[in-house]
Amino acid sequence: MVSPPTRYACTPGCRLGTGPQQRNPTRRGHTRPSSRSETLITSPDPILWISTGTCALGPYRPDLVETYWRWEQDPSLLVGYGRQSPESLEARTDGMAHQLRGENIRFTVYDLTGGAPVPAGVTTLLPDHGVRTAEFVIMLAPEARGRGLGREATRLTLDYAFHVTNLRMVWLKVLAPNVAGVNAYLKAGFQKAGTLRQSGYWLGEVCDEIVMDAIGSEFSGPSAVKNLLTP
């Protein structure tokens, strides 16, 4: 069996799935942003598909490419992904067009704790439609970490994967020294499924990768998707 491509899930650190599109009512009557960067971060009325009240998922946005790029160059995220060099903004902009045309399911993660939705990360499902499974990847902005937002975004993505995309199983790989990441995934509903020995690097040292999975039939707790359909 050919091994799937390596993508490291990290909490320090395409075809969009269809879903209910609801605009955020708190953005009505907002004032005009004073800078281009502020426009990128708080662009008016972002579409929110599903939400927990403090975290939401919405469409992947080409107007946020510079923001996504900034998050991706954070050194702690580079370590978590096993990448060894940064990427130029030009290359990232070119890559965005390819991502929007691809079949992977990507979401912008929003932080709702301040009232207005603020982009705080990206989650991705890389589906294998033949067997109804997908690999999971998450990226959080440096300023969004350490507050449980990654755990909520992960659960929302699993909720969508099982109840909208109708996947049977979602899996990920995380570098074994990333203990915070492993614990966050366990709390979000993943379980340890195995170990790939000496298959990654962490701070210049060879390390193992932990394979984790989540199964739709075991998804428990509140479902934001089901709540949308409840009268």
Structural domain includes residue 192: yes
Residue 125 lies in a domain: yes
Short-list 105, 106, 148, 140, CA closest to 121: 140
Please give the C-alpha separations between residue 224 and each of 15, 50, 57, 93, 129, in angstroms, as whole numbers. Answer: 21, 6, 11, 32, 23
Q: How many domains does the chain have?
A: 1
Query: Which residue range is the domain that position 193 belongs to?
Result: 22-228
Q: Is 28 inside a domain boundary?
A: yes
Q: Please check whether residue 8 lies inside any domain of the structure.
A: no
Residue 49 domain flag: yes
Q: Report mean pLDDT in 10-residue bins for the chain, 231 residues.
A: 39 36 39 38 77 96 95 87 82 90 95 94 97 97 92 97 97 95 94 97 94 96 93 75
In a domain, 3, yes or no: no
pLDDT at 84: 72
Identify whether 14 is part of a domain.
no
- Helix, strand, coil shares, percent, the chain, to 5: 35, 30, 35
The pLDDT score that the predictor gives to residue 76 is 85
**Residue 8 annotated as catalytic:** no
pTM to 2 decimals? 0.78
Supply the pLDDT for residue 149.
95
105 found inside a domain: yes
Catalytic residue among 8, 68, 185, 201: 185
pLDDT the model gives residue 77? 83
125-174 per-position pLDDT tens digit? 999 999 999 999 999 999 999 899 999 999 999 999 999 999 999 999 99
Across 172-196, b (16+ Cβ under 10 Å) vs e yields bbbbbbbebbbebbeebbbeeeeee
User: Residue 223: which CATH number?
Assistant: 3.40.630.30
